[in-house]
Amino acid sequence: MTRRALPRALGSSYRSDAMGNVGETSITCAVCGRESRQRQVRGTGPAGPPDLDLRPGETMRSTMAYWLQQCPTCGYAAPRLDEAGEPIPAVVAGGPYRALLAEVSYPPLARRFLCRAMILEETGELHAAAEATLQAAWVADDTRKADLAREWRLTAVALFRQGPAPDLEQQVRIVDILRRAGEFGGAAAQASALERGRLPEPVDRVVAFERRLIAAGDVRAYSVASALPPPAARPHVSHRGPTPGIPLTRGSAGGGGLFAALRRLFRRR
């Protein structure tokens, strides 16, 4: 297992652990001006294939707690607290954001992603807001909050659809998000819309795989590798084997998306 070199940062300390290089650094909040200690991850170990909704595989999967920083004073949530665009302080000070911060029934990490989603939605970045909302759903999965996971998945799909027309890759992903939410009718309709066009291989396999899951009423998570032929037909690939080269992209699925992940797996057949 290889590790990236430890970054050199004045005023920061880094250690290497199972999830990569986790560092702690002092950072000044661009919204309220208060300083706080924040942890960051600078690189992960080898990355397995993502889920079909692009939730990263391990080891990046275990680093979600480090994708966003949150100011303990004002509650601002961002990949970097020392950066904030002009409209953001007003969003953070606003009633809806304060109410969200006070919503103690949500898992704290999910709340952090939802805070980020609210900022992104208010600043017009609807697809990024959808991503952050989906990330909150992943936290709900991990904390066994099925109702919240379903609600946030449906919100994520709505945000994807409110933004610019989703590209083919996002449309395939929306099938999976709807299926995971138990919205089988909506997932099937999205799959049908895709099948009316010409789907390149191996995207057609993913849609066919989703079709089978929808027919079976299956809401479970599957990795991208599951949609491809079984490992027996691909002797060089283990089911969730390592796929090197997925860079750490904090706050995103990393690795360049669904099609890039499929291409990586296909190349290794």
Binding status of residue 71 toward Zn ion by CB under 5 A = yes
Question: 78 vs 178, which CB is nearer to Zn ion?
Answer: 78
Question: Is residue 29 a contact point for Zn ion (CB under 5 A)?
Answer: yes
Give the alpha-carbon dihedral of 220, 54, 136, 44, to 10 degrees: 120
Decide: is 73 part of the binding site for Zn ion (CB under 5 A).
Answer: yes
Residue 74 interacting with Zn ion (CB under 5 A): yes
Strands (DSSP E) found in the chain:
12-17, 20-28, 35-41, 69-70, 77-78
Nearest approach, Cβ of 35 to Zn ion (angstroms)? 9
Tell me the C-alpha distance between 75 and 140, whole Å.
20
Among 19, 22, 27, 32, which residue interacts with Zn ion (rule: CB under 5 A)? 32
- Provide, rounded to whole angstroms, the least separation between the CB of residue 103 and Zn ion: 18
At residue 13's C-alpha, the angle toward residues 12 and 17, to 5°, is: 140
83-102 residues near Zn ion, rule: CB under 5 A: none
Instruction: Check binding of 31 to Zn ion (CB under 5 A).
Output: yes
Sequence-distant (≥ 6) Cβ neighbours of residue 76 within 8 angstroms: 29, 30, 31, 32, 70, 84, 88, 92, 115
Nearest 5°: phi and psi at 156? -60, -45
| Least distance between Zn ion and beta carbon 34 (Å) | 5
Smallest distance from Zn ion to CB 28, Å: 9
Minimum CB–partner distance for residue 9 and Zn ion (Å): 21
Binding site for Zn ion (CB under 5 A): 29, 31-32, 71, 73-74, 76
